[in-house]
Structure 1
Amino acid sequence: LATPLTVCLVVVGRHVDRLQFLDVLLGNEPALTPPQLAYQRMLAGDPIEASQQAQTFLSEASLEDYYDTIMLDGLRLAEADARLGRLDRERMDRVLATVHEVVDDLEAHEDRAVAETEEVETSPLARLDTDPELPTSVPERWQQPGAVLCLPGSGKLDEAVAVILAQIMTRRGLGATAETADALSMSRFFSLDLSPAAALCICYVGKPSDAMIQYTVRRLSKKSKGGRIIIALLGSESDAVTPGTRDITTVV
């Protein structure tokens, strides 16, 4: 009798919102998804556990996959909470500091070599790596420090994304750097040095309006005097107002 009752409680928990705790307690699914666990570690300001989670994931996947499927989704959860007013300044600072430390810890990571017997990846990123029409090396101009400047669009969560994106670009041979969250503020914008940058990548994990994006692009276009500008819209599909990039790796 015990087993049927447990099954009934699990089914009820999955279909009745107020009883979802029964599904968590009695079901066989993990209480938190990997992105939720990553976000939990960010909120707690615990880069050690966050890095350990990353190492576990990286034993079977690439660093870029980790950023795309775990870290970026965790930051999307943070952005959703921030939009609802659930993240105060202290928690936001902990999230950003944790991302900085995890990214720094993964700086020297080398992806596991893929065995010949394993299935070949067919993701856009994998196809990009093997496209015979693309150059096999990065032009020297783009290897110079600061050749690509990743700019946070409007806040600290955007800074977290910019740091991740800059690391991915650097691993691919580009001279990429990331700015801090206040880079586009009135107090810093006029002193911002864009002269080394051949391209500017504006990163958003939130929900920017068309007006906000256009205003930022106009300001940067005038200041950079013709430099390339990339808009990286890294929020969820439902958040984006203007079509744009949805995952980190397709920016590169």
Structure 2
Amino acid sequence: MKPHLSLGIAQVVFYAPIFPLTIYLMYRNWHHRPRMVWWPMVPLSLMRVVGGACIIALELDRSFNLALIITTIVLLNVGAIPLIVNELGFVRTILQDNFSQVPRLHLMVKLLRIGFIPAGGLLAAGGGISSDQPTLGRTLALAGYVVFAAILIALIAMELYFWTLRSSLIPSSRKILMGGLATAPFLIVRNLYGILEYAQHDWATGHWSPVFGSAVLFALMALLMEYVAICIWLWVGFTTPPNSVVSQGARRDGEMK
């Protein structure tokens, strides 16, 4: 069996049970804000199931189906977006439950949320014009990944700051913070793969291409990193009682001011 065909089958097999779990977790905690902690895992797991099916179809298709190739590349690349959105949701939850009266922290998170707009737009534009203008498409997508990398670094820095104040956090926030920091190394590796993919000149068929490149690199640096991260998030979500993930006011407002 070809490596990419095996990879496509593995995606479907591993994410098929994850998808209903993420839906149930979102339903379980939906009435507790911020909701961006729960919903990003649903589209990510769905994209992985559909992306795996696309890889299988692409490997079995003997014709050069450009539309299928572009669809597969887009589905395999956009996984980094819900990962970082979920990490932002973790940070927002900690802020809401412990530092609700600290404007500068909330302003920073708001700026990071705004940063998703150009980053996502660059990735979408790069993928959309990749077939007609590959050089420009590569440049735009690479810029999008760089912006996401900057957002991720800022989120990790905030989590490390919260770690210094962990003794004052409510129990649910400490668990969420541990989950966010535990996923950080995996998110860094995943984002690094995206940067390396588009940093190469022949990004569509080069060594780092998720469709035509090394299946081992894509499996280890992208898919495995995502799977570990989503399993950590599921553990945090299911082991945190729903009634504890509620805004409980600032705990250290006076000290931080």
TM-score range (shorter-chain normalised) is under 0.3
Q: Greater CA radius of gyration, 1 or 2?
A: 1
Higher relative helix content: 2
Higher relative strand content: 1
User: What is the TM-score of this pair, normalised by structure 2?
Assistant: 0.25
- Return the structure number with greater relative CO, CA threshold 8 A, min gap 6: 2
